[in-house]
Amino acid sequence: MTDLLSLAPQEARAALTAWLAAQGEPEYRVRQVLPRLWQRPIAQWSDASDLPAPLRSALDAEFPFPRLTLAAHQVSSDGTVKFLWRLADGEAIESVLIPEGKRRTLCISSQVGCALGCVFCATGRMGWRRNLTAAEIACQVREMEVQGLGARPTNVVFMGMGEPLLNWDAVDTALTLLNHPEGLAIGARHITVSTVGILPSLAALARRPEQFRLALSLHAPTPQLRRELMPIEKKYALADVLKALGAWRRRVTLEYVLIADRNDSLEAADALAQLAKPLAAHVNLIPLHPGGAPDLPPSPHARMLAFERRLKSHGVEAVLRRSRGLDISAACGQLRVELEGHPHRKVGTQLHAHVD
């Protein structure tokens, strides 16, 4: 059996072409079968009513689709939707849909858990379990369509569970599946990879010709503070990461979670501006989600606004993001952690609560 959904479209086409020829099927069958992977996805081959029944049965036997089981589906009062997907081996991952006007951004996971241990992240506290396959990554988008959970996302961001560039081989293929015309056909400029700065894989991503967007999880403007918040500083130093970003051909976004009395001073804003300006980087200021790190206090709103103003006074483009999904455990990894702590709790209902 072959997992066609973990193959790049060109490889899937070649595998299907050879197999169909061996079955004595006419050449035009490839044009009927291939779109059922990504362009017009189905749950199983038996759903492809335009194909003869014997061919459908043979396809189901030879090329079964790996599936993600929807274990939880929560809807926030602000429209944010969180999905908990159960994998074939019983592990679970999360993705979050953020609608905003005509834009539908899906935040997807690349690993089960995370090995990096950032102090403000619920996934980091979970630890690393395993890498996802290319199919498990891209199927977070595919399953939404197959299961009738809404229209195909317009944007995809690798900002869910895990560090994408520590699972580069699968992420590399998943990027192709998301972007290729015979895949999900999402424009490269609408796909963002977020990383703490894994230098070898960052170089490999930079070599790809597509204009994928890059976001650096920074969260501290100095090596010392970054080491306190993000242990990865010990392996990939801030100076080396910034040097690598300087070679990036496209604009970079710097992500910065604001934590009270840790990284939210005006002096920290001044230091951050000195890093952002040479890169012409855009800075996303992110309120700390209280569910992600219960022992860390979020920065007060007034201080976050002052931090944003200080960056702008230096000529840095900065935006203070609005917290989304506060009523549905929307901190990355939070829902899975909650369910593991309450194994008999049933979470399949939509949750609605008032959010100020």
Please, are residues 4 and 19 in contact by the beta-carbon 8 Å criterion? no
Looking at 25, 94, 163, 308, which residue is catalytic? 94
Identify the helix (H) or strand (E) that includes residue 346: none
24 vs 17, 35, 48, CA distance in Å? 11, 20, 19
Residue 321 CA to residue 326 CA, distance in Å, equals: 13
Q: What are phi and psi of 193, to 5 degrees?
A: -105, 125
Looking at 91, 136, 332, 338, which residue is catalytic? 332
Alpha helices in 223-265 (DSSP H): 223-229, 238-246
- Write out the two tokens for 165: 């560039």
Please count the residues of the chain.
356
* Active site annotation includes 139: no
Please, are residues 233 and 226 in contact by the beta-carbon 8 Å criterion? yes
At 228 the three-state DSSP class reads helix
* Active site annotation includes 143: no
- Write out the two tokens for 198: 């894994």
Please, are residues 94 and 87 in contact by the beta-carbon 8 Å criterion? no
Longest dimension (CA), the chain: 71
Active site members: 94, 332
